[in-house]
Structure 1
């Protein structure tokens, strides 16, 4: 189970986009990286192909390390560290270490 999941709202804590908040689009587990919407956007020169008739310069978000983002807790609306605990029914859940509330269940 990961501390950051797809569709979580995160804040970047280091790098050129420090302080920006956005939604996680994709998590790459093997590389410990996440792709965040409108964060670490680079320009790529694209040649025309069969699928994309027009070439040109396109912008796309690149992955950043998972250690450079922190989860924004939906309950207290602050960036917080994430922990895991087992609930009474035996399921494992993520929780906010600031407010102690459960973020989501797995």
Structure 2
């Protein structure tokens, strides 16, 4: 689809849907589908048959992807959910910036 404003390892908050208000760490990003898997968000139960990889079988809980438009980055400096801006550093590298406190999000 296009570019996404979040990266793996970001702390995000869900701004709409059944998990509204939940915070979590981004585990994986799928830019082509504009989706991301967030720790503890959009959980589903899956019934697994016993196999060599999963010998006991049973019911497992796993995260499913969420649309990135429903996610907002939490700034590590001010601790608030924020939109993301972009700016260039002195050495010419492009970095993401918090729109609320103008602090660099990228490490």
TM-score by length of structure 1 reads 0.93
Aligned length: 105
TM-score by length of structure 2 reads 0.93
RMSD over aligned CA atoms reads 1.2
Unaligned runs of 5+ in 1: none
- Given the alignment, which residue of 59, 62, 65 partners 1:60? 62
Greater fraction strand: 1
Which aligned segments of 4 or more residues in structure 1 are displaced greater than 3 angstroms? none
Matches within 5 A, 1:4-43: 4-43=6-45
Q: Distance in 2 between matches of 1:5 and 1:32?
A: 12
Equivalent residues of 2:12, 2:72 under 8 A apart: yes
Q: Distance in 2 between matches of 1:103 and 1:4?
A: 10
Unaligned runs of 5+ in 2: none
